[in-house]
Amino acid sequence: MNANPQLRRVAILGASGYTGREVLRLCRAHPELQPDLVMSARPGVDPEPPELAYDPVIQRLDLDQLDYVDGVFLCTPHGAAGELALAALAKGKKVVDLSADFRLRDAALHAKTYGDTTPGPAGALRAEAVYGLTEHARREVKAARFVSNPGCYPTAVSLPMLPLLKAGLVDLDADVIADCKSGVSGAGKTPSARTLFGNVHENFLAYGVGNHRHAPEIHQVLGTTRVQFVPHLLPVFRGILATLWIRPAAGKTVDDVLQCLDDAYGAEPFVRVYTRGLPELNRVQLTNFCDLGVAKVGERIVVISAIDNLVKGAAGQAVQNMNLMLGLDETAGLLD
């Protein structure tokens, strides 16, 4: 007999990457999510054995084993999630997709942005996928069987911007500048010349300027293309610090902006609005918090947003969504 009637069993497909390992870390410490299946996301491929004793043992992909779980986390590279999602949904499982495959509602825009399409039956999932920015889609997530987890930069930008736009506090006759910095884990586990230690250490650079894949997602979520997004690579492993330069609507002040954010998130468990001081990376690393702060600079108002890109920007938000989908407390496994 199950000693914990609330226990839900989950599968993690694509567990060798940074986000997959982060989902596994959170589930191992979760009181009600048990990671029963830890698998590769690539069919017919034998995963490499763990290098260290405490590394997870990753099994070969076997979709028949999904019969025995309640939920599935897809931690795949873009382009690989569709068929896995279809298989899991056909078995009646709740699915959270951490890839970018279903974040963009427009299939043509997705193909232009990511250079691939999701053909056949899997492509039809685009219309069903709930965009899981939890604080702004809680009701939809609870009722969903398939959630597309937001990207890390869009999470850091959208959480502060959505309430301000809804309240009419931003003058969109002027561009919003989203000056964002991320740790190197945001580039994923696959090595490249740009992410080699020797090229990151004691270095700082902009990248993807004008063509980063998260820009269309940010524009979709916010409903405007007036947000000019410039990402930078920090010489740290995890974390995002977003500096958002906005021109306030006529007559609106920094106090109005701060009050709006506090009204929107004062009761939220994972968004902390600073009434003094500004967020820093080391206050959010290894947590599911998004920290927000506000300052006045000349005629502009600056909003600072800080998250851990692997937690609130990926695995933590995915667990938050899966908690809701499986009828658990939203905060389970995510607060000390």
Give Cα separations from 194 to 77, 205, 229, 323 (angstroms). Answer: 18, 10, 20, 36
Strand duo 290-297 + 271-273: pairing:
parallel
Cβ burial, residue 215 (10 Å; 0-12/13-18/19+): buried
* d(C-alpha 142, C-alpha 138), whole Å: 6
**pLDDT for 52 beyond 70:** no
Which of 75, 152, 180, 260 is labelled catalytic?
A: 152
21-36 confidence digits (pLDDT tens): 999 999 999 999 999 9
Token pair for 250: 């006529």
Say how far residue 8 (Cα) sits from the centre of its chain. 22
How many CB atoms are closer than 10 A to CB 306?
A: 27
Looking at residue 67, what DSSP letter applies? Answer: G
Which residue in this structure is represented by tokens 């997602």?
Answer: 217
180 among known catalytic residues: no
Average pLDDT over residues 278-297: 98
How many CB atoms are closer than 10 A to CB 257?
A: 25
Q: pTM here?
A: 0.94
180-238 confidence digits (pLDDT tens): 999 998 777 776 777 778 778 888 899 989 888 999 999 999 999 999 999 999 999 99
